[in-house]
A = this chain, B = another copy of it.
């Protein structure tokens, strides 16, 4: 639903088929797009009209779906996180490798225009090295309607797999080097929603740079006040909506009723949101370089230099998620995939697991499966 507005307007995308278990979704699809609405992944994998598939199914289903589709020769865009377990991530990367198809992990907020623009500024060398990055985000994530497995860490629930992966993707892209080790503390303090809802983590990088990320999905405070009052999806916040998630949840009496509330937001059950006017974002990010600090906002990049300040508006784009679709297009048509490959997604997932492990064991966790995006020679998974 969140990527649909961008799919509709992208000149390089023709939506030709879908797979959905719900009849309502399939009917809505054929009514809007025509084409083929399949009931199973296998049928979609065999559809000759399909060149690439966007897998937006629940995390724990990614492996099965990706494996079937890769065998069918489809290029894949897989929603973050790539999978829940590292074994599943490995299997997905291997399946795409074996089939010779492109695999991109996204959309994630590392595709946001201000993040990509900041990465280019950093790569130009004008600010010197990146030394430290700080990101924070305070949301009501844990109180939005959830399916039961979204509140069970073992099934990929909680904020580490869904939310930390965004912050990790963003800082990895900005840093440009390989992450080396992680220390973290997590919080799971609402017994009615028994999964991690908050964390703070430190991530070390090659060369001694480090990042710190802090997230609360229990938040009352809304860090979007630091982002021009623009929400994660690039739209202006409604001040009258304060406390909306908690208020709505207070009217729900069972997990089934809550899951029902969530399914009303599925394709075919309600309208997709309109195309957002601003870039998406994932909370304030400050990048400290030798000769400047860069502060990312949904409107662009504040450059705080040695003696002067400047503001560079984010480049205009047709939709907030244009970059990920552009990435998929260039991978398939020009063989030039974006940084966010399968191996990239696996590396971010490894950091999510390291956050959980560090918090559990009270020890730093070393990383083994990290990639960096600077090299154009990075193999496509």
Closest chain B residue, CB of each to CB of A136: B134
Q: How far is the CA of A132 from the CA of B198 in the complex (A)?
A: 8
Interchain CB contact (< 8 A) of A364 among B302, B307, B364: B364
- Bound state CA distance, A293 and B202, in angstroms? 23
Q: How far is the CB of A137 from chain B (nearest CB, A)?
A: 11
B222→A304 contact, CB < 8 A = yes
Q: Identify A293's interface contact among B190, B214, B219, CB under 8 A.
A: B219
| CB of A210 closer than 8 Å to a CB of B | yes
Choose the segment among A68-76, A181-189, A272-280 that binds chain B (4+ C-beta atoms closer than 8 Å): A181-189
Contacts of A243 in B (CB 8 A): 305-308
Q: How distant is the Cα of A304 from the Cα of B138 in the complex, in angstroms?
A: 12
Q: CB of A311 within 8 A of chain B?
A: no
User: Given A131-B189, A187-B210, A218–B364 Cβ distance below 8 Å?
Assistant: no
Chain copies in complex = 2
The interface stretch among A28-36, A284-292, A316-324 is A284-292
**Chain B residue with the shortest CB-CB distance to A143:** B306
A12 at the interface (CB under 8 A from B): no
Closest B residue by C-beta to A305: B220
Cβ–Cβ contact B138 & A293, under 8 A: yes
Interface 1/0 per residue, A306-334 and B, CB below 8 Å? 11110000000000000000000000000
Bound: A208/B136 CA distance, A? 20
Q: Are B189 and A290 in contact (CB under 8 A)?
A: yes
> How far, in Å, is A129 (CB) from chain B's closest CB?
8
Q: Does A295 touch B at the CB level, under 8 Å?
A: yes
Question: Do A134 and B214 contact each other (CB < 8 Å), given the known contacts A202-B202, A221-B295, A304-B220?
Answer: yes
Closest CB pairs A-B (n = 3): A200-B212, A220-B304, A183-B183
